[in-house]
Chain A
Amino acid sequence: MTTPLQAVGTGTASRAKPETPLAAPRRLPLWKRLWRDRVMLMLTLPGLVYFLVFHYVPLFGYVAAFQDYQPYIGFLDSQWVGLQNFATMLGDPRFWDAVGNTLRITLTQLVLFFPAPIALALLLNSVISEKVRRFVQSVVYLPHFIGWVIIVSVFQQVIGGAGVLPGFLESIGLPRYDMMTDPDAFPLLVTLQVIWKDCGWGTIIFLAALLSINPELYEAAAMDGAGRWRRLWHVTLPGITPIIILLLILNLGSILSVGFEQILLQRDAVGPESGEVLDTFVYFNGVQDGQWGPAAAVGLVKAVVGAVLVLGANKVAHLLGHEGVYRNASK
């Protein structure tokens, strides 16, 4: 914000002491400043209440992780069981299935999905005709706005049991293959859906990075005899490496969270042995089966590990010279 506005302040408070404009105290007492800013602060109140109630207060719900929690009795009267829920969690083979599946899916997405938007951005960037580029961008951004229910339904229609692809395979003499019910292919299936939905959307940030590369670098490289591939290697890639590293680190921060809605919708088609991830495990165990205590324990562990990973990832990104996620937003 511009400095003149700050100098003007917000009305009466600064005008109240016209006789000492230079010697005016740098800071008014807290209550005076709050009174001066009351309108602005009141405006933030509904949003602030929302964030506190729906994002911070729920954290207290994790006391259920240390209780034999029964919703009808409530937190106060449910029996305290210490760490028993965590012992239950560690002894539950389904929990370890969920951990394994989560990591397997994350890894598949990291290898197959992460590079996809980079490749697509490079491809789009190399298209010289702006019209074509704009058109393709409009098309590939669209799936981002389609909900998971619709996307999974559409996949069902195309590659599912009675869908187009199995029918086609049969018509050319191959066995029908239904990927949507093949447990082994589940990580791949989930990743393909993510690519369809968000590969285009993911290009936005890389395209911006590509645009910010100084064109003179390309020209100079071309003058020095660098061909298109050498320019890609020596100019383009170094230009977007910082953003790639930043996103990679941030991705590592969220390895325990794989598309919850997406997987919830398809878990039953492949069975929990390969379709269960940590989030769905918490949902089915807690909300569906009423195992509140153990489910809360898993949720708590996941939330804490997740938060540590995200904050750690931010820290690393920061150390590497990039602006962290939360730090620069308040500047």
Chain B
Amino acid sequence: MRASERPAWMERPSKLGVGLKAVIITAITLLVIYPFVGVIGTSFSSESEIARSGGFVLLPTAPQLDAYRAVFDGGTVTRALLISVLVTGVGTLASVTVTICMAYGLSRREVTGSKWILMIALFTMLFNPGIIANFLLVNQLGLLNSFGALVLPSLVSAFNLVVLRSFFMNLPGELLESARMDGAGDLRILARIVLPLSKAVIAVVSLFYAVAYWNNFFNALLYIDDSDRHPLPNILRTFILQGRTLESAVGTEAPAPVQAIQMAVLVVAIVPILLVYPFLQRYFTKGVLTGAIKG
């Protein structure tokens, strides 16, 4: 990264220029942050306060938890949340395992056929079979209405594969070589040397997968008929975008304002991402660039 100082040859910036820049940057930052603050604030608000503020409460004067009590009452939202957690957990574990194995298997050029296997994987970045073809396949495999339909269709991303593979390829060759001299096989090298050296990049790839599973609503929409088995994003769609009533979504009685409950569901969907974001953010620039340049 560059030094944080103005180079000697650069002219002193004008007051107007700096001021203008500061205003624009502040405005952009606020445009991003404002909706998050509004959603969180509203979820803690009372009916009258929401009415007074015209929809969005940035800072509730008397925060209350009624909306969250309703959301975690054991109704549709609670169930959808559990499904989302399950899909994200199982899916991420499966995806990361398969991707690591494949990336490692392809990380040595001299392996017979690895070039072809890599091409098969990379070509999928350019060509998407499309909705109909995917649906008919999942139907033929008998996966409709099964848990597998939420995980298997998006098991490996070629992008993440490329990121991991290029990281593995750049590990110090001498280390792997000396392990081989000591008689370590490919699997032992993977477990004892490659994995411990790649913790950070594996964490990033895991988070990429986890975020994708967490946000995915289309697999459930396409492959799962029974809306009682839909994950959280699908519930959000039904109750916020399609305006279905919330009585069936939450427990028996809902003392909290409808809008606060809607925002509370949004918060539940956003918070996990906000929690992992700082970890993700530390590494992803590098990962994205590797992926972008290679793929």
Known: A150-B233, A204-B288. A37 touches B270 (CB 8 A): no
Query: Which B residues are CB-close (under 8 A) to A64?
Result: 132, 136
Stretch from A16-24, A107-115, A211-219 contacting the other chain: A211-219
Known: A130-B1, A147-B215, A265-B237. A59 touches B133 (CB 8 A): yes
Interface residues on B, range: 35 or more
B137 with A204: CB separation less than 8 A? no
Assess whether A43 is interfacial by the CB under 8 Å rule. yes
User: Shortest CB–CB separation between residue B168 and chain A, in angstroms?
Assistant: 10
B211 with A145: CB separation less than 8 A? yes
Query: Which A residues are CB-close (under 8 A) to B62?
Result: none
Known: A128-B4, A282-B131. A218 touches B9 (CB 8 A): yes
Contact of A307 (CB < 8 Å), options: B112, B127, B240, B266 = B127
Q: Which of B121, B153, B169 has the most CB of A within 10 A?
A: B121
A10 with B110: CB separation less than 8 A? yes
Assess whether A233 is interfacial by the CB under 8 Å rule. no
A261 with B217: CB separation less than 8 A? yes
Assess whether B47 is interfacial by the CB under 8 Å rule. no
B-contacting residues, A16-68, CB 8 Å: 30, 33-34, 36-37, 39-44, 46-48, 50-59, 61-62, 64
Assess whether B197 is interfacial by the CB under 8 Å rule. no
Query: Which B residues are CB-close (under 8 A) to A128?
Result: 4-6, 13
Contact of B55 (CB < 8 Å), options: A150, A157, A228 = A157
Query: Which A residues are CB-close (under 8 A) to B3?
Result: 130
User: Shortest CB–CB separation between residue A274 and chain B, in angstroms?
Assistant: 17
A59 with B129: CB separation less than 8 A? yes
Assess whether A120 is interfacial by the CB under 8 Å rule. yes
Bound-state CA distance A174–B119 (Å) is 57
B241 with A156: CB separation less than 8 A? yes
B29 with A139: CB separation less than 8 A? yes
User: Shortest CB–CB separation between residue B31 and chain A, in angstroms?
Assistant: 7
B32 with A196: CB separation less than 8 A? yes
User: Shortest CB–CB separation between residue A162 and chain B, in angstroms?
Assistant: 6
A50 with B98: CB separation less than 8 A? yes
Bound-state CA distance A95–B50 (Å) is 43
B215 with A148: CB separation less than 8 A? yes
Interface size on A, residues (CB 8 A): 113
User: Shortest CB–CB separation between residue A198 and chain B, in angstroms?
Assistant: 12
Shortest Cβ distance from A129 into B: residue: B4
Assess whether A142 is interfacial by the CB under 8 Å rule. yes
Query: Which B residues are CB-close (under 8 A) to A287?
Result: 131-132, 135, 222
Bound-state CA distance A149–B273 (Å) is 14
Assess whether A100 is interfacial by the CB under 8 Å rule. no
Query: Which B residues form the contact surface with A (CB < 8 A)?
Result: 1-7, 9-11, 13, 21, 24-25, 28-29, 31-33, 35, 38-39, 42, 54-56, 98-99, 101-102, 104-115, 117-137, 139, 141, 152-153, 155-156, 158, 161-162, 169, 173-174, 176-177, 180-181, 185-187, 190, 211, 214-218, 222, 233-234, 236-237, 240-242, 262-263, 266, 269-270, 273-274, 277, 280-281, 284-285, 288-289, 292, 294-295
9 sampled A-B residue pairs with Cβ under 8 A: A40-B111, A44-B106, A128-B4, A148-B217, A154-B39, A157-B55, A302-B130, A310-B126, A330-B115
Apart from the given pairs A158-B38, A303-B133, 11 other A-B contacts in the complex at a CB distance below 8 Å = A33-B112, A34-B112, A41-B113, A61-B137, A130-B3, A140-B32, A147-B233, A148-B217, A163-B55, A299-B131, A330-B118
